[in-house]
Structure 1
Amino acid sequence: MTLPDALNVQGGAPVRFVPQGALPTGKAYEQHVFESRCCPVRPGAHDFFNGLVWLHFPRTKLALNRLQAEAIAQGGVAGRRGPVRDAVTVFDENGALLQAPQPLWEALRAREWRRLFVELRPLWTGARLLVFGHALLEQLASPRKGLTAHVWCAQAPLESPEAADAWLAGRCSATTLAAKPFTPLPVLGIPGWHPENANFSFYDDSHVFRPSKTTQQQTGTAATASTRS
């Protein structure tokens, strides 16, 4: 059985999965999916996970595809993708929904990594992350320390895929996505997602757990003042 056939037999997707060769030459992938409701699939894990996301988040995938198609119709595919297409691509590939207590969100948005993952560690038992991006799912099969999700603060019950899909689809507007309402989260820092993060030196890697620009500027200012004194 081919990958398109295996995905089609599951049912429930708003598109029909077809071999990659069904994509007309010169036709933009997103535009073809929008117009034909056929989703070309290449062999391999990347498109396999994309198919699974279509099955579990049908309303959201349709909404994102519509935004992509509208942007292509207005500006074509050449040159820069623009803020809407860029945001859609980022979330479609690497997005996730996060429910978490407010202190965790505050630490995440400030990129206060040790506070987020060490000081507030007990609060993670009340958090839930639901992965949406198919490239993120593919990379989680062989994870690396720097793997980062772009997370959206979810107000839906993530235990229910249908509720999560409805909530997310309802917020997929051009205006909302152009503002990029997501926050980078190094996912292997989440307690329990990597055995090595039980040792808190895991978070000392500044190449992964980078400080915010504000913190960097403050550190640079303090270093300059110290040098001059």
Structure 2
Amino acid sequence: MQVDWAQPWFAPWRAPGEAVARRIGGGQPAHEALNAEGEAPVRFVAQEDLPAGTPYERFIFETRQCPVRPGLHDFFNGLVWLRFPRSKAALNRLQAEAIARDGVGARRGPVRDAITVFDENGALLQAPPALWQALEDRAWQRLFVELRPLWAQARLWIFGHALLEQLAQPRKGLTAHVWRGDAALESGADADGWLAARCTGKVLAGKPFTPLPVLGVPGWWNANENFSFYDDSLVFRPRKT
């Protein structure tokens, strides 16, 4: 399991991640290694325990069991369940309710679409208002160059397990869908409780996320010390008009 835990985006995940990875490296199945790390609102089980044809989210909601496959994707999903138990449970409940109401279907609908985006690629960002305004404007030079000193006052937590998996092999275009945190997060308030309280169908249907190319964050990637890094319009795209 190749993960460079020294990278800044893995800092919140390093302690549990290294412990679980050591167990897996010692031959323990991933689901058992996750169960041994701490309590979660679900029990991790082998992928084979998911009955054929049963929707994954409905199975988790009804049985309180989360299937785990080998590999980094489900490894990080398990870590997020351990670190953000209330938020993950709230998102799972909304998914299960939508499936019960509408079926699986080819189209998920706005709430399930938003949940999938955030669950896979989401992040929480607490930042000074000037940074947020620049981010919402997609004013990348202002955000990352002119206002660069303000990033010392910002906090960014990666929530999406697919994004965490991709960051094991970082590349320039990786983008988070960030949810704006408030001053309570800056002061160290419980991020899980804060997020779980906002995981409602009404809020999520509005897709309260803003795209952020995470390797542009100062201090996260050496290449962005050269400000020409931000001239790549395929990654740092202007706001649509």
**TM-score of the aligned structures, taking structure 2 as reference length:** 0.87
Larger radius of gyration: 1
Deviation of 1:79 after TM superposition, in Å, equals: 1.4
SS at 2:198's partner residue?
coil
SS at 2:185's partner residue?
coil
The answer (yes or no) to whether the contact 1:53–1:132 under 8 Å persists in 2 is: yes
Deviation of 1:158 after TM superposition, in Å, equals: 5.6
Per-residue Cα deviation, 1:152-175 (whole angstroms, up to 9, x for no partner): 011232675x71000000000000
1:221 is aligned to none
Match of 2:98 among 62, 65, 71: 71
Deviation of 1:78 after TM superposition, in Å, equals: 1.6
The answer (yes or no) to whether the contact 1:90–1:150 under 8 Å persists in 2 is: yes
What is the RMSD of the two structures over their aligned residues, measured on CA atoms? 1.0
SS at 1:123's partner residue?
helix
Match of 2:235 among 208, 214, 222: 208
1:226 is aligned to none
The alignment status of 1:189 with 2:189, answered yes or no, reads no
Identity rate, percent: 70
Q: C-alpha distance in 2, partners of 1:180/1:27?
A: 27
Q: Runs ≥4 in structure 1, deviation > 3 angstroms?
A: none
The alignment status of 1:37 with 2:64, answered yes or no, reads yes
2:185 is aligned to 157
1:143 is aligned to 170
The alignment status of 1:167 with 2:167, answered yes or no, reads no
User: Where does 1:80-159 land on structure 2 (aligned, <5 Å)?
Assistant: 80-155=107-182, 156-157=184-185
Q: C-alpha distance in 2, partners of 1:164/1:194?
A: 25
Stretches of structure 1 lacking an aligned partner (at least 5 in a row): 215-229
**TM-score of the aligned structures, taking structure 1 as reference length:** 0.91
Change beyond 3 A, Cα 1:82–1:213: same
Q: C-alpha distance in 1, partners of 2:48/2:186?
A: 36
SS at 2:220's partner residue?
coil
Q: C-alpha distance in 2, partners of 1:175/1:118?
A: 35
Stretches of structure 2 lacking an aligned partner (at least 5 in a row): 1-27
Per-residue Cα deviation, 1:3-54 (whole angstroms, up to 9, x for no partner): 0000001122110000000001110000000000000000000000000000
Aligned residues: 213
SS at 2:79's partner residue?
helix
Q: C-alpha distance in 1, partners of 2:210/2:94?
A: 21
Q: C-alpha distance in 2, partners of 1:175/1:7?
A: 32
Change beyond 3 A, Cα 1:139–1:15: same
SS at 1:150's partner residue?
strand
